[in-house]
Structure 1
Amino acid sequence: MEAWIAGIEGTEAARHLAMALALLAAVTHAIFGALQKGWHDPWLSRGAIDFSYAVMALPVALFLVPWPEGRMWLILAGAMAIHLAYKYAQARAYERGDFTVVYPIVRGMGPLVTVAAAGVVFDETYSALQWAGVLLLSGGIFSLSAFNIAGAGIGRRRLVGALGWAALTGILVSAYTTYDAYGIRATPNPFTFLAWFFVADGLIFPLLAAGRYARMLDPPALGPLFRRGIIGGLVAYVSFGSVMMATRLDRVGEAAVLRETSVVFAALIGWLFLGEKVGPWRAALVTVIAGGAVIVEFG
């Protein structure tokens, strides 16, 4: 697999595969978001997910892929720090605001900052038409959040806090996307980075969640929590692994933009499986978001 990936890098086949992987990441990220709905405590749910994917990744890291060499340990430590900050900010945002308000803000920030960062770090360039597509996509996502805010009934003080943490989370999403793209490109075997990343990334947050669980007066049952954690961990493998491979095979900014069409798939999942009403305005905004992604990819 490693030799095949190296053989197609820089080809048209790699570009098409990267596009398919980024869209797969978008679909699975939307599923991941749907799984989080109804989880009464974002700290516990994230801790269960991290614990699950770290335990499942450990045998792969130890026995199936080469061990990291030299500076890869430092790169993994940096990724671990950025992801910890991201998950902390996300949990704080979900504490203060509804999922439908916070999630679009987080996803809307990502493409804008990632495309700009990719230009600096990876010397990627984008045409004026593609930048217009990025603005269209992010603007549609932000508008979707504003539409949801109008019906959320959140107090002003709580809303300001939720939006602030959501914006910070979006910036950290861009930071880890750019940094992890650098990490997976710096590793001869991309699966070494992915396997050891999931091990390292799952070490800290379960400890924070365990401390929170111990302080709860009425903690939830562990069985259902860990069942959802295992499902979330498996989905995270596909979602994160897909977008990281996409950033290795093709441009980082385009992969980030396509991943944020998860908002479109989340709306479809909510309509088809969760009984949510989409309505004409939300449907129009979802169409704008999808159109922005198409312009970036083919502009």
Structure 2
Amino acid sequence: MTPLIAAAVLLAAVTHASWNAIAHGIKDQLIAFTLVGGGGALCALALLPFAALPHAGAWPYLLSSVLLHLVYQFLLMRSFRLGDFGQVYPVARGIAPLAVTVLAAVFVHERPDAWQTAGVLVASAGLAGVALWGMRGRRPNWPALGAAVGTGLSIAAYTVVDGVGVRGSGTSLGYICWLLILQGVVIPVLALALRRGELLPALRPVAARGLLGGALSLTAYGLVLWAQTRADLAPVAALRETSIIAGAAIATVFFKERFGRPRLVAAAVVVGGIGLMLHTS
């Protein structure tokens, strides 16, 4: 985990929180994810001539990841529809780093050293603090929280699958392009089947925002996949989920949710965890 890799993943965290905020800000979640998925697929198609074809051994992982990403998107749509951004987004992202640490140890035999383990635990504690602050003073919205937890587990699953797949693909760019193309057409096709003549009128008012979200989605996950070819999965996952801090800031500025001192403390804890993960670099 070098400073360059860390910077790339932190940039991915900000862009990821941004496209999630765009998706949440569009009230019709089917329309939002149609545009984000379609926009990501269009960007990937534009980059495809410049990308090598992934090696044959990577395709089972890539196709499995497409299915896991679709599960993730449907659960994320449900959590956004049922709950507030400042509540469900931190929960969905906050449980992923520890789950990735366990899955990577079991299936990829990556066991982080003492400093990385401490960094993941400290950063996860800070992320949990942000998530709990997002639920302060409210009665738990159990359906929304259940969808958010399911979203977090699906994140952990596709993170490990993609970590293995992209390393064997020979091309980070080719892997992300095919991933977004294959997954990106599913929700638009579903929306077309469900809405038919009503789809285009619903898309027009929010098309620019949604397509921007798709471009940010490609950028965010492309940076993460590149980082996964150069560092262990657990610290990359923990760094990526600092998107929670960016999400909390976005929720404060655009959705008028208070940031508060507890979130500042939690953010400082996350920064301390990042410092521990970078100790051995």
Q: What TM-score does the superposition give when structure 2 sets the normalisation length?
A: 0.88
Residue of structure 1 in register with 2:143 after alignment = 161
The higher radius of gyration belongs to 1
| Number of matched pairs | 280
> Offset of 1:54 from its aligned partner?
1.0
2:28 is aligned to: 41
Opposite residue 144 of structure 2, the aligned amino acid is A
2:184 pairs with one of 185, 191, 202: 202
Contact map agreement 1:75 1:183 (CA 8 A) in 2? yes
Per the alignment, residue 82 of structure 2 pairs with 96
Alignment of 1:271-290 (within 5 A): 271=252, 276-290=257-271
Determine helix, strand or coil for the equivalent of 2:220.
Answer: helix
User: Does 2:52 correspond to 1:58?
Assistant: no
Per the TM alignment, residue 252 of structure 1 is displaced from its structure 2 partner at its CA by: 1.3
1:265 aligns with 2:246: yes
Gaps of 5+ in 2: none
Aligned to 1:19: 6
CA separation of 1:95 and 1:135: change in aligned 2, threshold 3 A: same
Cα distance in 2 between the residues matched to 1:47 and 1:267:
25
Say if 2:56 and 2:169, in contact at 8 Å, map to a contact too. no
Distance in 1, Cα, partners of 2:64 & 2:124: 27
Q: Percent identity?
A: 31
Q: CA deviation at 1:221?
A: 3.4
CA distance in 1, matches of 2:52, 2:133: 48
Q: Which amino acid aligns with 1:30?
A: A
Q: Give the equivalent residue in structure 1 for 2:171.
A: 189
Partner of 2:19: 32
Are the aligned partners of 2:115 and 2:276 in contact in 1 as well (CA < 8 Å)?
yes
Contact 1:264 1:290 in 2 (8 A): no
Instruction: Find the residue that maps to 2:170 and give its secondary structure.
Output: coil
* Deviation sequence 1:186-244 (CA, Å, 0-9, x none): 1122222121111112121212333444597x996322322112101111121100111
Q: Deviations over 1:117-158 (max 9, x none)?
A: 22223322224454343233223323322222234x45x5xx
CA contact (8 A) 1:50 1:206 kept: yes
- Whole-angstrom distance in 2 between the partners of 1:201 and 1:254: 26
RMSD over aligned CA atoms reads: 2.5
Query: AA paired with 1:226?
Result: A
Alignment partner, residue 227 of structure 1: 208
1:74, 1:214 → 2: CA distance? 33
Residues in 1 aligned to 2:60 and 2:127: alpha-carbon distance in whole angstroms:
35
User: CA 1:125/1:43 → structure 2, altered by over 3 Å: closer, same or farther?
Assistant: same
- Contact 1:44-1:213 within 8 A present in 2 as well: no
Give the direction of change, closer, same or farther, for the CA distance of 1:267–1:98 in structure 2 (3 Å limit): closer
One-letter amino acid matched to 2:277: V
| 1:239-260 deviation digits (Å, cap 9, x = unpaired) | 1001110010111111111111
**CA distance in 2: counterparts of 1:271 and 1:209, whole angstroms:** 31
Q: Which runs of 5+ in 1 are unaligned?
A: 1-13
Residue in 2 aligned with 1:3? none
Q: CA deviation at 1:272?
A: 5.9
Is the CA contact 2:103–2:160 (under 8 Å) kept in the aligned structure 1?
Answer: yes
Say whether the 8 Å CA contact 2:20–2:213 is kept in structure 1: no
The 3 A distance-change label for structure 1 pair 139 and 43 is farther
